[in-house]
Amino acid sequence: MPCYRCGARQTDPVRGASPWQRGVRHESQVLICPDCQRLHDLDLDTCSTCGSTALICRLGEVECRSCGAVRMARSSETLGPAPVTAPPGLSAEVEAALNRVLGRA
């Protein structure tokens, strides 16, 4: 995954912690290269509890790595279960069966 801001590619991992920062922006997981981390207009999502930008976004949740607060991602609200609809043709079948039962066929 390249840097979300400048598109730089992460170089081969060196020993120790990666200088690249993980963050969440508009509820999507992003990577920030060491150069862009110095900028102050990164527009990252922040933890509503402690204000940290050290967030992880995963399936419908945003977790703060600083204080552990977890909140639902707003965008997940639109991904609710799909409405259950009867497959096409079923109602006609049911109607025919009812007609048979009722002697109307």
- In angstroms, rounded to a whole number, what is the distance separating the alpha carbons of residues 71 and 23? 15
3, 30, 31, 73: residue in contact with Zn ion (rule CB under 5 A): 3
Nearer to Zn ion, 70 or 96 (CB): 70
Helix (H, G, I), strand (E, B) or coil at 63: strand
Position 39 contacts Zn ion (CB under 5 A):
no
Q: Dump the DSSP string for 5-62.
A: TT-PPPPPPPSSS-S-EEEEETTEEEEE-HHHHT-S-------TTT----EEEETTEE
Please report whether residue 70 would count as binding Zn ion according to CB under 5 A: no
By CB under 5 A, which span of 17-25, 61-69, 83-91, 94-102 interacts with Zn ion?
61-69
- Residue identified by tokens 């940290």 is 52
- With H, G, I as helix, E, B as strand and everything else as coil, classify residue 94: helix
Q: How many residues bind Zn ion (CB under 5 A)?
A: 14
Complex with Zn ion: residue 39 or 90, whichever CB lies closer: 39
Alpha-carbon distance values, 30 to 78, 83, 86 (Å): 21, 32, 40
Shortest distance in whole angstroms from residue 59 CB to Zn ion: 19
| CB nearer Zn ion, residue 2 or residue 95 | 2
Judged by the rule CB under 5 A, the positions of this chain that interact with Zn ion are 3, 5-6, 8, 33, 36, 47, 49-50, 52, 64, 66-67, 69
